Amino acid sequence: MGTIQKEKKKLNGTSEQTDNKELNLIEYVEIDDTPFTVVGEYKDEVGRYQWYIMMGKYRLTEDIGGRQKAIDEAKVITWEKIMGLIGVMVEEYNAKNKK
């Protein structure tokens, strides 16, 4: 399997200062040899990151519960993930073209 490339980005170019440490609000992990990216989004209301699998601009999962768990799941391409993505794309297309 491929290696994991990690890139941290800040939401709207901002960050929060907590205990003299910079807190990145969004973290992206591209998964080699897959079309997926794992995204961690810090949520103040729960006091932790919530981790999702995404493909392009489409979020494929709800909070998976942890960074490594999301990475491991993203490495396995299943028909369920592909069909979920197609379903979201069809819904978006229909909403844009509704008359």
Average pLDDT, integer, range 59-82 = 90
**Residue pLDDT, tens place only, 43-62:** 888 889 999 999 988 888 89
**What tokens appear for 54 in the block?**
């995404």
Nearest to 26 by CA among 15, 34, 35, 18: 15
Taking only Cα atoms into account, the Rg of the chain, rounded to an integer number of angstroms, comes to 15
pLDDT at 1 over 60: no
Average pLDDT, integer, range 60-71 = 93
Which pLDDT score, from 0 to 100, does residue 77 have? Answer: 78
pLDDT at 66 over 60: yes
Nearest to 36 by CA among 73, 89, 69: 73
**What tokens appear for 28 in the block?**
């992206």
Which pLDDT score, from 0 to 100, does residue 22 have? Answer: 60
Mean pLDDT of the chain: 78
Name the residue ranges covered by the structural domains of the chain. 4-96
Average pLDDT, integer, range 21-25 = 68
Which pLDDT score, from 0 to 100, does residue 54 have? Answer: 92
Nearest to 40 by CA among 66, 4, 14, 58: 66
Asked if residue 31 lies in contact with residue 40, where contact means CB atoms within 8 angstroms, the answer is no
